């Protein structure tokens, strides 16, 4: 998984590369100084993420890659004055005040996006079975008790709980209780 840094300034290029390697020393990073070779480099290296400054970004470039199948994600470098039409092609931007944390966030954002694509569609809605389990957790039952009540194994309940936590972003039993009440899954007494 290659990351390409397209930027005329040595200092900026080196800085970004340095941070990328600090975040992940195994990350393959290619650099490009000459805007004329931009398209060819992308075709050759097939980066999944490209950091590029305004010198590299213009309408005709984006037009030329419009129909290519594997388009990388573009992050603009110091693109404050760039045309809006070009700006719209960028997924993120960084500037002189950006920190390591910003770059980390960008990396996390897009590596997550990629894994999502592999798993396909949004499966964040609770299934009926999972709703049953939430209801019982909210009533204060233990995994074992829920298993007995629903005629399932404790192991299955544990799996359900993991999925529920992943989907809802709620880890604790009392958090799930609040969720259950808000969504009218159980009555308050």
Residues that bind another protein (CB under 8 A): 23, 99-101, 104, 168-172, 174-175, 178-179, 181-183, 188
Count how many residues are written for the chain.
189
61: tokens are: 């470039």
Residues 31 and 56 sit within 8 Å (Cβ to Cβ):
no
169: tokens are: 């972003």
Instruction: Report the residue number, 23 or 82, with the smaller CB distance to another protein.
Output: 23
Residue in the structure block whose two tokens are 């999972």? 130
Long-range contacts of 126-130 (CB under 8 A, 24+ apart): 126/164, 126/167, 126/168, 129/160, 130/160, 130/163, 130/164, 130/167
Instruction: Report the residue number, 152 or 170, with the smaller CB distance to another protein.
Output: 170
Instruction: Report the residue number, 12 or 58, with the smaller CB distance to another protein.
Output: 12
Instruction: Report the residue number, 82 or 185, with the smaller CB distance to another protein.
Output: 185
DSSP letter at 8 equals: S
Separation CA 169–CA 157 (nearest Å)? 17
Q: How far is the CB of 87 from another protein (least distance, A)?
A: 27
Instruction: Report the residue number, 23 or 131, with the smaller CB distance to another protein.
Output: 23
Q: How far is the CB of 63 from another protein (least distance, A)?
A: 38
Q: How far is the CB of 33 from another protein (least distance, A)?
A: 25
74: tokens are: 């573009």
Residues 37 and 12 sit within 8 Å (Cβ to Cβ):
no
Q: How far is the CB of 133 from another protein (least distance, A)?
A: 17
Q: How far is the CB of 101 from another protein (least distance, A)?
A: 5
């Amino acid at each position: 998984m290659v990351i390409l840094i397209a930027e005329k300034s040595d200092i900026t290029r080196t800085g970004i590369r340095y941070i990328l390697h600090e975040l992940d020393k195994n990350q393959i990073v290619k650099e490009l100084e000459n805007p004329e070779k931009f398209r060819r480099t992308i075709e050759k290296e097939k980066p999944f993420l490209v950091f590029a400054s305004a010198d590299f970004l213009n309408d005709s470039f984006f037009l030329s890659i419009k129909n290519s199948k594997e388009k990388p994600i573009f992050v603009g470098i110091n693109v404050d004055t760039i045309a809006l039409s070009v700006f719209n092609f960028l997924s993120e931007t960084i500037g002189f005040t950006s920190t390591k944390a910003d770059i980390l966030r960008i990396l996390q954002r897009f590596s997550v996006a990629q894994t999502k694509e592999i798993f396909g569609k949004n499966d964040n809605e609770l299934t009926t079975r999972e709703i049953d389990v939430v209801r019982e957790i909210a009533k204060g039952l233990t995994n074992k008790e829920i298993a007995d009540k629903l005629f399932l194994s404790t192991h299955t309940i544990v799996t359900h709980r993991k999925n529920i936590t992943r989907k809802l972003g709620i880890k604790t039993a009392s958090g799930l209780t609040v969720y259950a009440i808000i969504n009218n899954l159980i009555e308050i007494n």
